[in-house]
A and B are shown apart, each in its own frame.
Chain A
Amino acid sequence: MLVFVAVVVIGLFSLTRLPIDQFPEMEPPYVSVMTIYSGANGSEIETNVTKILENSLNSVDDLKEITSTSKDNMSLVTLEFEWGTDLDEATNDIRSSIDMVTDELPDGCSKPLIFKFNTSMMPIMQYAFTAEESYPGLEKILDDNVINVLNRIDGIGNLSLSGAPERYIYIDLDPKKLEAYNLSLETVGNAIGSNNLNLASGSVKMGKEQYQLRVQGEYVESSEINDIVVTTSADGRQVYVRDLATVRDTIKDISLDEKINSQNGVRLIVMKQSGANTVQIANDVRKQMERIKQQLPPDIKVQMIYDSSEEINNAINGLVESIFYALLFVVLVVLFFLGKWRATIIIGLTIPISLLTAFVYLALADSSLNIISLCSLTIAIGMVVDDAIVVLENITKHIERGSRPREAAIYATNEVWVSVIATTLVIVAVFMPLTMLSGQAGIMFKELGWIVTIVVCTSTTIAISLTPMLCSKLLKSVKVSVDEHGNLVEEKTKIGWYERYVVGFLNKVDNWYANALRACLNHKAITLIVVTLIFAGSLVPLFLGFIGTDFMPQQDNGRMSVTIELQRGTRIEETMRTAREIEKRMMVLVPEIQLISTSAGTNDDAGISAMFSTTNNNKITMTVRCLKKYERERTIFEIAEVIRQELASMPEVITYQVSTSSGMGGGGASTVDVEIYGYDFVTTNLLAEEISQKLKDVPGARDIDITREEDRAELQIIFDKEKLARHGLTEATVSTYVRNRVNGMTAGYLKEDGEEYDIVIRLQEAFRSSITDLEELTMPSATGQLVKLKELARIEEYWCPPTIERKSRQRIVTVKVTPVGVSLGELAISIQHMLEDVNIPQGINVALAGDYEDQQETFGDMGMLLALILLLVYIVMASQFESFSKPFIIMMAVPFAITGVILALLITDTSLDMIGALGVILLVGIVVKNGIVLVDYINLMRDRGYELNEAIALSGASRLRPVLMTALTTILGMVPMALSTSEGSEMWVPMGIVVIGGAFVSTMITLIVVPVLYAIMSRHGERDKAIKEQKEYIFMQLDPHDDKGTVDNPQK
């Protein structure tokens, strides 16, 4: 007793310590190697860097797939490992592989940079700040008031602002004036830079004192720059900066435009440290944010774009609700069948205690309360009561025969504990293999396997220890008295409505079932044929493809991300205008929208984060947040469809994708990828184009996207080497000069309040916006003379080679397709058909991949798992029954579980996904358990000498209630899960449906098929056994009067 109290206390303690998360901790097994090789274009990078790295990295252990991107200046090789690989180890391997080829890499190429992709790079929250008057100073305000405050929160990772207006000091030069004064841009830049200094110039001793000598020349205000003297002209006049240029103290020229609900705004992206608790951090951030709001200027508005903790909380709350309902239902079922509240309490107590041990496990395993662990608990609830029920039943039987509760508890438990453990072993045999599953599914289901195993084992321990103990205390012995004749009279228990109606009803069901069973036993052949027909019939929809298959269910979390691509080369201002228009249309079409956060263009300070973003000047990305799922009538998928149609009707939109996924963990949209492998750009591009055109006719195919970028127009400066040499210039110096003039030269910083702002000097925009302008650029030669660019080089327009993507060391183009309204599997099949009609040129391979590939892989794993589980269960049962045929009989019920699954999926129009497939595996456990109860009892009755058919009918009648009870507790335990509509419920609804359907049908079938099969299988077996036994005990046939009848000389 005290042990269990301790367990409860530890369990509750663990529960309070458990973090809440969406999924179990999983580290995505990706490692990237980034190499910068400035000046090289995509195909040069491919041959000189990427290929060399790929060949070397290909030998790293546990490598699953190697993909690479080669674009201008950069090569990125991504290695995908098997899930569960130790990435630290892998990183070491990678490092040594890279070291081996470092010498082969071209000179001037940077050292390859290895970095792991981890979950902390995923934003957990996004805020939008919109401002009016304070917009220009927004960056500073947010930096001081928001980022600094939030950074103090425990576990917070990176905080970054996107689209913040940065303060810049621009000095726009007039090239004509420069020429007039015979100055170069660099002279001006150097003049500005060298007048902006704080320097220590030694120390001076004066009398007894010593002074530090300092030059304090830094600009205090940007206007000071105007008065810098650049040079003194030949006639002695001083040339000021203001004579040559205008100084603008302003915000950076836009190349990235962030708008929130069409207002100027900034996005704050919050990331957490790896392993930190998302929910905890999000709560802290929200709390801080409330306080911060007060301190911000009144025109700054804060809005939440995205909060991943909200989703997690909703999902977890939904599941917790399901657990409580499941608990309630299970207790009600037990009460209904037992009809005694004391007994029900005893049984009911096993549930919380068993579940609490799961929390202890979770705490010890450093895991969290997540969707998987809570789903496991729901599954377990239906199973934990079974053992306790068996024990309780036997104890009650003893008590009814007049034993005192204490004795009854002891002896009744002794009688059944072995068989209780045996049935538990079956469940363990089903769930333990889950812990061995590899891959992504393995990480998710490891927890499930352990939890159910642990919970079921605990429940068995409780059933044979705590349950009898409680029985001995709580149950009352039958009240008896002795009447006047000395006869024993049992005191009549009050006949309540329960005895009258429920027991009567149950008895009727028992009798009806026994009769039905007898009838079936008399018509075995017919029964079997009918049942087989039902089974075969149910397989038809499966083969006809009515049952779709998905990898991971798509979730409706009220968010969409929209990517729109306009005509290549569109200038940012034009893109912004289109973005505003689209926003307006969307607001009209979709009143559910709460917030649209749009970014257009690109941030030209390429950092690591820029590597992942593909925003270019012609691209718009929008994050759209709608009302919560239960506050609107249309699903997010319907809304996305509306937006897709609208975008399709806009002529300026070239391509678009509307994805409804959160992009987090497994909830992402599943895609089918058509991979085209081939070396030649032209052929593969044409094929990709053809395929994507044909895909538009495939039903359900949306968001078709070709990953290879189209050739991009570029201006190239082609130098005349002779002329360069004549002026004493090199390509390197000239390209720096061009860069300084067009992009700007950073001539130091303006310091204010501890912040540094760039001073950028460049030509006025009007003098650098056409090819002619560029040709007119003047630059100093080695002798100090000014030369025009056109004297050194010509400028040509050309198409730059695209980004080159490779997979498995081959060039690849991927056409991505998202299924809408159809399942992943269905889409993949129709694409497969479509591909058969496509004429694929020689030397090019086409393959289906993407989530479809993952799905196939996982389903393959699941199939293996199912086989393994069936084998294990068979072994456990075979040793339990000491028979090879009986387990087989029981397992015959498993296919009918599949019938139920198919029917349930068909009726509810759900497609089978990874979680659903898991449900199928669980069914094995449930179904087999039912069979065991029945077959075990038939065996018992046969051993006790009943005739076969009679034994079967009797067992049927007697075991009907336990079987129904087990099935009902499981089914009703799943009902809340199947019906749940909370956010994120898409994850577990299929599993609920699968288990309910499968358990329901298979229970019905078990009750008929198993007895009939038993009858067929045993008839011969048992008769043969009797004859065999007779032969073994041959001494019975000896005639003792005959001396010949010895063992040495047996009688014929």
Chain B
Amino acid sequence: MKAVFIVFNQANTERVEYMLDQLKISGFTFFEQVQGRGTNGGEPRRGTHTWPEMNSAVITVVNDDQVEKLLQTVHKLDCRNKEVGVRAFVWNIEQTV
């Protein structure tokens, strides 16, 4: 089991949800309206007057075999428009109840 943390410009919300549906990933936790900024490029998303845009984030815990497909799809989404932006980070799940 892996946890995939996907942060995206909130303008991509519907696409991310569609993507998860298509990949038959039913479980996720959705963080609406999160702030952040990127290390390599990546405009700040602070919801301020200067940086008015905002991100949202999703953590989804998936089987190991699903991770590859998910990351590929995320990359496709990122390719669609680099400016809008989406990132995904993966880490291990130690235990669940």
A residues contacting B by CB (< 8 A) are 398, 401-404, 406-408, 411, 414-416, 418-419, 480, 488, 939-940, 943-944
Complex CA–CA separation, A406 to B10 (angstroms): 12
CB-defined contacts of B81 to chain A, threshold 8 Å? 401-402
Given A401-B83, A402-B81, answer yes or no on A407-B11 (Cβ-Cβ < 8 Å): yes
Nearest CB to that of B84 among chain A residues?
A401
Taking a contact as CB atoms closer than 8 A, the residue among B52, B79, B83 that contacts A415 in the complex is B52
Provide a sorted-by-A list of 11 A–B residue pairs whose CB atoms are within 8 angstroms: A401-B81, A403-B84, A404-B14, A407-B14, A411-B54, A419-B49, A488-B79, A488-B80, A939-B49, A939-B50, A944-B50
Complex CA–CA separation, A408 to B49 (angstroms): 18
Taking a contact as CB atoms closer than 8 A, the residue among B12, B49, B83 that contacts A940 in the complex is B49
Nearest CB to that of A882 among chain B residues?
B49
CB-defined contacts of A414 to chain B, threshold 8 Å? 54
Given A407-B11, A408-B11, answer yes or no on A402-B84 (Cβ-Cβ < 8 Å): yes
CB-defined contacts of A398 to chain B, threshold 8 Å? 11
Q: Is the interface of B mostly helix, strand, loop or mixed?
A: loop
Nearest CB to that of A419 among chain B residues?
B49
Interchain CB contact under 8 A, A416 and B52: yes
Complex CA–CA separation, A4 to B54 (angstroms): 30
Please tell me if B89 contacts chain A, counting CB pairs below 8 Å.
Answer: no
Interchain CB contact under 8 A, A418 and B49: yes
CB-defined contacts of A944 to chain B, threshold 8 Å? 50-51
Complex CA–CA separation, A1014 to B10 (angstroms): 34
Please tell me if B60 contacts chain A, counting CB pairs below 8 Å.
Answer: no
Question: How near does chain A come to B57, taking the closest CB pair, in angstroms?
Answer: 15
CB-defined contacts of B50 to chain A, threshold 8 Å? 939-940, 943-944
User: When A and B form their complex, which 3 residue pairs have the shortest distance between CB atoms, in order from nearest?
Assistant: A415-B52, A943-B50, A402-B81
CB-defined contacts of B84 to chain A, threshold 8 Å? 401-403
Complex CA–CA separation, A404 to B11 (angstroms): 8
Complex CA–CA separation, A465 to B48 (angstroms): 21
Taking a contact as CB atoms closer than 8 A, the residue among A402, A407, A940 that contacts B80 in the complex is A402
Kindly list 14 other residue pairs between chains A and B, CB separation below 8 angstroms, not including A416-B52, A940-B49.
Answer: A398-B11, A401-B84, A402-B80, A402-B81, A402-B84, A403-B11, A407-B11, A407-B14, A414-B54, A415-B52, A939-B49, A940-B50, A944-B50, A944-B51
Given A415-B52, A943-B50, A944-B51, answer yes or no on A407-B13 (Cβ-Cβ < 8 Å): yes
Complex CA–CA separation, A404 to B9 (angstroms): 13
CB-defined contacts of B51 to chain A, threshold 8 Å? 944
46-74 of chain B: CB within 8 A of chain A: 49-54
CB-defined contacts of A415 to chain B, threshold 8 Å? 52-53
Interchain CB contact under 8 A, A411 and B80: no
Nearest CB to that of A397 among chain B residues?
B83
CB-defined contacts of A480 to chain B, threshold 8 Å? 80
Given A401-B81, A401-B84, A488-B79, answer yes or no on A411-B10 (Cβ-Cβ < 8 Å): yes
Complex CA–CA separation, A9 to B6 (angstroms): 48
CB-defined contacts of B49 to chain A, threshold 8 Å? 418-419, 939-940
CB-defined contacts of A940 to chain B, threshold 8 Å? 49-50
26-50 of chain B: CB within 8 A of chain A: 49-50
CB-defined contacts of A488 to chain B, threshold 8 Å? 79-80
Question: How near does chain B come to A958, taking the closest CB pair, in angstroms?
Answer: 15
CB-defined contacts of A418 to chain B, threshold 8 Å? 49
Nearest CB to that of A400 among chain B residues?
B81
How many residues from B make CB contacts under 8 Å with A? Answer: 16
Complex CA–CA separation, A488 to B84 (angstroms): 15
Complex CA–CA separation, A343 to B49 (angstroms): 25
Nearest CB to that of A487 among chain B residues?
B79
Complex CA–CA separation, A895 to B33 (angstroms): 44
CB-defined contacts of B54 to chain A, threshold 8 Å? 411, 414
Complex CA–CA separation, A414 to B13 (angstroms): 15
Complex CA–CA separation, A406 to B79 (angstroms): 21
Complex CA–CA separation, A418 to B48 (angstroms): 10
Taking a contact as CB atoms closer than 8 A, the residue among A402, A407, A411 that contacts B53 in the complex is A411
Question: How near does chain B come to A947, taking the closest CB pair, in angstroms?
Answer: 16
Question: How near does chain B come to A409, taking the closest CB pair, in angstroms?
Answer: 11
Nearest CB to that of A406 among chain B residues?
B14
Question: How near does chain A come to B2, taking the closest CB pair, in angstroms?
Answer: 26
CB-defined contacts of B10 to chain A, threshold 8 Å? 411
CB-defined contacts of A939 to chain B, threshold 8 Å? 49-50
Interchain CB contact under 8 A, A401 and B79: no
Question: How near does chain A come to B94, taking the closest CB pair, in angstroms?
Answer: 33
Nearest CB to that of A415 among chain B residues?
B52
Complex CA–CA separation, A398 to B14 (angstroms): 14
Nearest CB to that of A941 among chain B residues?
B50
Question: How near does chain B come to A1040, taking the closest CB pair, in angstroms?
Answer: 26
CB-defined contacts of A943 to chain B, threshold 8 Å? 50
Complex CA–CA separation, A398 to B12 (angstroms): 11
Complex CA–CA separation, A480 to B81 (angstroms): 11
Given A488-B79, A488-B80, answer yes or no on A401-B11 (Cβ-Cβ < 8 Å): yes
Residue from A411, A418, A480 having most chain B Cβ neighbours under 10 A: A411
Question: How near does chain A come to B53, taking the closest CB pair, in angstroms?
Answer: 6
Nearest CB to that of B51 among chain A residues?
A944
Complex CA–CA separation, A406 to B15 (angstroms): 12
Residue from B12, B13, B49, B83 having most chain A Cβ neighbours under 10 A: B49
Complex CA–CA separation, A402 to B15 (angstroms): 11
CB-defined contacts of B11 to chain A, threshold 8 Å? 398, 401, 403, 407-408, 411
Complex CA–CA separation, A402 to B51 (angstroms): 19
Nearest CB to that of A398 among chain B residues?
B11
CB-defined contacts of B14 to chain A, threshold 8 Å? 404, 406-407
Question: How near does chain A come to B40, taking the closest CB pair, in angstroms?
Answer: 16
Question: How near does chain A come to B13, taking the closest CB pair, in angstroms?
Answer: 7
Complex CA–CA separation, A398 to B10 (angstroms): 11
Question: How near does chain B come to A265, taking the closest CB pair, in angstroms?
Answer: 74
Question: How near does chain B come to A1022, taking the closest CB pair, in angstroms?
Answer: 14
CB-defined contacts of B52 to chain A, threshold 8 Å? 415-416
CB-defined contacts of A408 to chain B, threshold 8 Å? 11
Complex CA–CA separation, A416 to B12 (angstroms): 18
Nearest CB to that of A881 among chain B residues?
B49
Complex CA–CA separation, A411 to B84 (angstroms): 12
Question: How near does chain B come to A441, taking the closest CB pair, in angstroms?
Answer: 38
Question: How near does chain B come to A435, taking the closest CB pair, in angstroms?
Answer: 30
Complex CA–CA separation, A414 to B51 (angstroms): 12
Residue from B14, B79, B81, B83 having most chain A Cβ neighbours under 10 A: B81
Complex CA–CA separation, A431 to B16 (angstroms): 47
Complex CA–CA separation, A488 to B83 (angstroms): 14
Complex CA–CA separation, A944 to B52 (angstroms): 11
Complex CA–CA separation, A408 to B53 (angstroms): 11
Complex CA–CA separation, A480 to B79 (angstroms): 13
Nearest CB to that of B81 among chain A residues?
A402
Nearest CB to that of B85 among chain A residues?
A401
Nearest CB to that of B56 among chain A residues?
A411
Nearest CB to that of B10 among chain A residues?
A411
Complex CA–CA separation, A416 to B80 (angstroms): 25
Complex CA–CA separation, A480 to B80 (angstroms): 9
Nearest CB to that of A394 among chain B residues?
B52
Question: How near does chain B come to A408, taking the closest CB pair, in angstroms?
Answer: 7
Complex CA–CA separation, A944 to B80 (angstroms): 25
CB-defined contacts of A402 to chain B, threshold 8 Å? 80-81, 84
Question: How near does chain B come to A83, taking the closest CB pair, in angstroms?
Answer: 44
Complex CA–CA separation, A411 to B11 (angstroms): 7
Complex CA–CA separation, A101 to B50 (angstroms): 73
Question: How near does chain A come to B75, taking the closest CB pair, in angstroms?
Answer: 11
Question: How near does chain B come to A178, taking the closest CB pair, in angstroms?
Answer: 104
Question: How near does chain B come to A151, taking the closest CB pair, in angstroms?
Answer: 67
Nearest CB to that of B33 among chain A residues?
A414
Question: How near does chain B come to A120, taking the closest CB pair, in angstroms?
Answer: 56
Complex CA–CA separation, A415 to B10 (angstroms): 11
Nearest CB to that of A490 among chain B residues?
B81
CB-defined contacts of B80 to chain A, threshold 8 Å? 402, 480, 488
Nearest CB to that of A880 among chain B residues?
B49
Complex CA–CA separation, A414 to B32 (angstroms): 14
Question: How near does chain B come to A400, taking the closest CB pair, in angstroms?
Answer: 9
Complex CA–CA separation, A416 to B52 (angstroms): 8
Question: How near does chain B come to A797, taking the closest CB pair, in angstroms?
Answer: 89
